[in-house]
Structure 1
């Protein structure tokens, strides 16, 4: 149901994406920093309300990660174009998300459903990706000089992006095959009933 408070907050976060793109395009880093910060706070707020007041929904489980991806992708794209973010990191983030999207579609094709709950590693990756944008925008807004810290964040984000992508491959491919093999073994080892004593 779209009219729940968490879903309305999520839709608001999606609505901030084109505003953020325009602000970054015109290099209004201060306003972009404020909008991104508000959007980031809304991400935690909608999740808190959904859990605290039992307002979680299937639509919210779909919209929330989509809103996060739209916000992160647009920020990374614009910061990459402006030269504030390395192209290889942008490419890594996009490749990881495409891998997950294709993997989920294949998983649905064979299993009929896919669990939308993110792993702890995925949550850490999202946190790192958001932290990097906040750090870059804060550096531009307040004319801060912490390039070394930003570089550390860039490499940390790269590592968590790779690890979380590999983890999803493990969950959807390797783990699924192991469970299938274990299921076959259990079926073979199960005692046969109905035969002569």
Structure 2
């Protein structure tokens, strides 16, 4: 068990606590814990890459922790009425589609190796930044104004583009 993997497991443990904070009307706690989770993602990746601590377990755990965090946050923000439902549905549907495609390729005897695409990395960054902005706005009582619409548009568009890119890659793999 490497230090980056321990940090990633810590991020998994933060997920229910952040959701609890959102649902319990503790927006400042939710914001700070979400930021901590985001920083932990950067730290574990940096340590793994720059100090030769990459492991096969970490290659699976890290994206799962990211998905657990983002899906949970977007659903919680939607349930609390802080973001429109369609955004949470888009975020969840994209990840379900990716996981379903990987599982289907394994079942069909054509396992696909999914590597993060550039659009996916930009999408994840946008999702994290937007969720942090919404949590900060709620926690510190300030309006996002037009930034709310810009964030919604960016997350919606990038999520759709990322889903389409993964679907196209998967279809090419399955057709070859």
Normalised by the length of structure 2, the TM-score is: 0.95
Shift of 1:89: 1.0
Q: CA RMSD in A?
A: 1.3
In structure 1, the residue matched to 2:168 is: 170
Larger Rg: 1
Shift of 1:176: 4.6
Q: 5+ unaligned residues in a row in structure 2: which ranges?
A: none
After superposition, residues 1-197 of structure 1 pair within 5 angstroms as 3-174=1-172, 176-177=174-175, 180=176
Q: Residue 25 of structure 2: SS of its match in structure 1?
A: coil
1:27 & 1:97 partners in 2: Cα distance?
A: 27
1:130 & 1:164 partners in 2: Cα distance?
A: 15
1:118 & 1:111 partners in 2: Cα distance?
A: 22
1:67-106 superposed Cα distances (whole Å, 9 cap, x missing partner): 0111111111111011001011111111111111111112
Q: 5+ unaligned residues in a row in structure 1: which ranges?
A: 181-197
Q: Which moved more, 1:32-41 or 1:108-117?
A: 108-117
1:88 & 1:145 partners in 2: Cα distance?
A: 21
Shift of 1:27: 1.2
Normalised by the length of structure 1, the TM-score is: 0.85
Shift of 1:110: 3.5
